Amino acid sequence: MTSAPRIHGGPDALGVPLYDFSTNSNSCGPCPQAMAAVQAANATRYPDASYTAVREQLAAFHGVDSWRVVLAGSASEFIFRMTAWTVQQGGRSVWLPQHAYGDYAHAARSWGLQVASTPETADLVWVCDPSSPLGQTFDAWPLHKGQRVCDCAYAPLRLEGTSRATASQQDCLWQMFSPNKALGLTGVRAAYAIAPLNGQQAAQQLEALAPSWPVGAHGVAMLLAWVEADTQAWLQQSLQTLRAWKLRQVGLLQAMHWHVEPSVTPFFCARPALEIDAPTLCAELRAQGIKLRDTTSFDLPGYLRLGVLPPHAQDALLAALHRPPMAGVRHA
């Protein structure tokens, strides 16, 4: 049995793009403090198999009991583990946002879960707040029944507003975090989830489904750096920079009559004014060293997702878009 190839942003068969708009990584990164910690990690030794210090410090950072911290090799690894656990518990259905990270659906298909029409009827519910690819705030709280997981990967990168989930609603959710995006260190794989208040047994069962040492020495170093005050100060400073860069990037595209969807993150979706075969346009730009993310796989055809990059990268994109001819573009 074969499955459809998974589509992601970032480096590809052509290598690392010169200007990579295709990922949601913090383009102010890497965070110097986190990078130094990762580089200093001792890869000659196993991490503590129980991850005692990591759990305690993450728990203190979030103000929760340490049993609520479940470590994961990555957000994607936790998605698959949570899906497997749901099936193990007798779950048969999943609810997915219309536009969402493909691994939610891929894991569901792999484990034979049926897609429910509403979250109220699903055994497993995935939301992402802020969302990807649109970078918008989720506003359908509360959700009922089943295991509810909020992917909080982009919460630390929120440029405006706050989550609309109340504290009591958050205590009923699984909250999944992958700090590598906010730190500009997406090559370091490590993540964690905060279990709901009533989820101690579920947390133990999910721990039992994990392999030994799901997080390596470099991931441990990143997670420990993540909770440090100087790392968080760097992150807040980077958000100020990203707000200014985003304003400029959106303005450049709107000046070309692109329609830009609103977002609260340093990434957004946009539809060019010209009729575009998005995959062809992306391929042509990729050949010029510029990578954008076609959102067809997110069930959003005709749009492109763009991470916010520094002004010199924005200028390179603008120059490439003005460079005729482009076979993927037809004048309306």
Q: What are the chain's domains?
A: 19-24+231-330 (3.90.1150.10), 32-226 (3.40.640.10)
Percent of the chain with pLDDT over 90: 81
Q: Which two tokens stand for residue 31?
A: 């965070």
The string of pLDDT tens digits covering residues 141-194 is 777 667 899 999 999 999 999 999 988 889 999 999 999 999 999 999 999 999
Contacts of 231 (CB under 8 A, 6+ apart): 31, 33, 34, 183, 225
Calculate the alpha carbon distances from 65 to 37, 59, 90, 129, 209 in Å: 25, 6, 28, 23, 21
- Work out the average pLDDT over 210-232: 97
The string of pLDDT tens digits covering residues 277-312 is 778 888 899 999 999 999 998 999 999 999 999 999
Q: What is the pLDDT of residue 94?
A: 96
Q: What is the pLDDT of residue 33?
A: 98
The yes-or-no verdict on residue 331 having pLDDT over 80 is no
Higher pLDDT, 31 or 120: 31
Within 10 A of 214 (CB to CB), how many other CB atoms are there?
A: 22
Contacts of 284 (CB under 8 A, 6+ apart): 326, 327, 328
Say what the alpha-carbon torsion angle 73, 79, 84, 87 is, to the nearest 10 degrees.
Answer: 160
Q: What is the pLDDT of residue 11?
A: 73
Bridge partners (DSSP) of residue 151 are 128, 176
- Work out the average pLDDT over 119-136: 95
The yes-or-no verdict on residue 327 having pLDDT over 60 is no
Bridge partners (DSSP) of residue 322 are none
CA atoms of 300 and 262, how far apart (whole Å): 15
- Phi, psi (deg, nearest 5) at residue 232: -65, -35
Instruction: Give me the chain's average pLDDT, please.
Output: 92
